[in-house]
Amino acid sequence: MSDYRVDLGEISFNLRHVADLDGLAKLEEFEYVEPDVVDQVLAEAARFAEEVIAPLNRVGDTEGARRLDDGSVATPTGFREAYDAYVQAGWGALSIDPEYGGGGFPHLVGLAVEEMFTAACMSWSLCPLLTQGAINMLSAHGTEDQKARYLPPMVTGRWTGTMNLTEPQAGSDLGAVAARALPQPDGSYRLVGTKIFITYGEHDLADNIVHLVLARTPDAPPGTRGISCFLVPKYLPDEHPSSAGVRNDVRCVSIEHKLGIHASPTCVMAYGDGEGAVGFLVGEENGGMRAMFTMMNHARLSVGLEGVAIAERSYQQALAYAHERRQGRAPGAPATESSAIIDHPDVRRMLLDMRSSTSAMRGLAYRNAEAIDRAGNGSDAEQRQAAGEQAALLTPLTKAWATDMGCELVSVGLQVHGGMGFIEETGSAQHYRDARIAPIYEGTNGIQSADLVGRKLTMRDGGAVRDHLAHIEATVEALDGTGELASVGRHLEAALQATGEASEWLLAAGLAQRLAGADAYLKMLAITTGAAALTDGALAATRLGDPDAAADRAVLARFFAANRLSGVPGLLAAVTEPADDLAAATQRILA
């Protein structure tokens, strides 16, 4: 099994020439983020990922998390030591508001570091990921006392955070949540209910766990309108905010046995085995969905990044194997020698598909993070609104397309290994198993496509998506139809035209028709957007005057355009035609 090595050149290029980190650094909030400081942060993060986290990936998969007889959960060998080192280094604070002890770096930089840690060991990275989301939610919706009491230890990483949405009878239908929150005379609540699929709901990494829990108060209206959000710590803080006091009435009753991410404890949590778990309202009563979506939107981008990270890890392993493995004779090779399989055209095709697609996914995710930074810190209200719309539009694309592609690309990586890929010892099979959860996390990808056509497409009556497509049109115009990227321009223009046509058709269609074509439309928009990011990177490399880098990025852009982007116009029929057949299938074929 090959070691993971961070491609700092690729990450840094995407930060500065696909996303615009240098432009972000000109904003008042980030003016101290100097290029050399960012380079130092990235280099140290790469070292930490390679030396501290990456060795956990295999042992975590083979050992897994274990629930002990007393209800506690033990993480695999080395996990706690790595987490302690993470806390000591302050990585969790990197892109958090300095008011609460954070480093104040752009979310874009934090996302790049997150990619390294996720690629190194996805199971380990999930705990910090959810804590970051919980911090964001409390920062936006918590009371001043809640922020002062809970954020400092969470920012340091000494306390971790979770998101408790799902219940056995509810699944993704949060309107069916039945957990109860009973008001108490002191202003607190007592929570009673069961939550399932709670990532790192119990573990041995930190001193305390802060659960953010959706539940209903006694007089709450039905459906999602009656959901409130509550902060339920594992240990109730005493008069000293940074210390952990009395154990709360919340327990892990079991952990799931899963297809992958074995080291990440996925817990069934019981609230209120006794008098009820003490909780505190976050935000307004019946305003839980608005509060929780602050956390979920952060998590959706991070889950999309999981697709990028695990595809990168799988690609590196497949590439190393293709150089080492000798089999058959490639065209032009001496008759007396077997060839390294990387010399076979089909293996090169698979590897180039992995490399170019991962680059397109990374560009999309980084631009998504940049939009989030600009939405919160833009120089004026108009810029913040435009960036907010872009972030809202890109988030379902990143989450759904990058995770679907992550699964597809790790399957390609396994295929490069041939029969050895199916053998656990090579490690390729683990990537295949671990990747599969990402399209399910944080709202399945069907929910992402429904969100895209139901809410994001209709922003400003379609104005947001039209503005987005206009930016891609500017990329087409920059290609000018000539040179090494001429074929990219032709494919991008055709995809852009088809995506624009699909957008206008959906805007004029009824909701049922929009939902029927939502999955295909998300793919059209995401592939076209990823191709534009890849193309902008190739154009930037040309402007930088490095002929080798420009040639390499042109190859990636051309290959992606011919093998992925060229299929976008063919998806138009899947957007505009499926509604009647779905209804017919419900009546007959699927009866």
Our CA dihedral for 239, 244, 246, 252, rounded to 10 degrees, sits at 150
CA pair distance 386, 135, nearest whole angstrom:
25
CA pair distance 369, 371, nearest whole angstrom:
5
Structure tokens at 318: 């497949």
Structure tokens at 46: 């790469």
Q: Give the residue among 97, 99, 106, 100 at the shortest CA–CA distance from 41.
A: 106
Using a 10 angstrom Cβ sphere, with 0-12 exposed, 13-18 middle and 19 or more buried, the burial of residue 186 is exposed
Classified as helix, coil or strand, 209 is strand
Which positions ≥6 away from 419 have C-beta within 8 Å? Answer: none
Q: Contact 210/203 with Cβ under 8 angstroms?
A: no
Classified as helix, coil or strand, 283 is coil
Classified as helix, coil or strand, 467 is helix
Classified as helix, coil or strand, 432 is helix
3-class SS shares of the chain: helix, strand, coil, % to 5: 65, 10, 25
Cα–Cα distances in angstroms (integers) from residue 267 to residues 97, 201, 527, in the given order: 30, 6, 35
Residue from 99, 442, 473, 501 carrying the catalytic annotation: 442
Structure tokens at 243: 């210390």
Q: Contact 304/530 with Cβ under 8 angstroms?
A: no
CA pair distance 337, 358, nearest whole angstrom:
33
CA pair distance 140, 117, nearest whole angstrom:
26
Backbone dihedral angles phi then psi of residue 97, each to the nearest 5 degrees: -55, 130
Structure tokens at 518: 């939502």
CA pair distance 424, 413, nearest whole angstrom:
14
Enter the DSSP assignment of 216: B
In b/e form, how buried is each residue of 198-207, taking b as 16+ CB within 10 angstroms?
bbbbbbebbe
Structure tokens at 413: 């990586």
Classified as helix, coil or strand, 276 is coil
* Catalytic annotation present for 408: no
Q: Give the residue among 54, 56, 437, 438 at the shortest CA–CA distance from 256.
A: 437
Classified as helix, coil or strand, 273 is coil
Catalytic residue annotation: 442
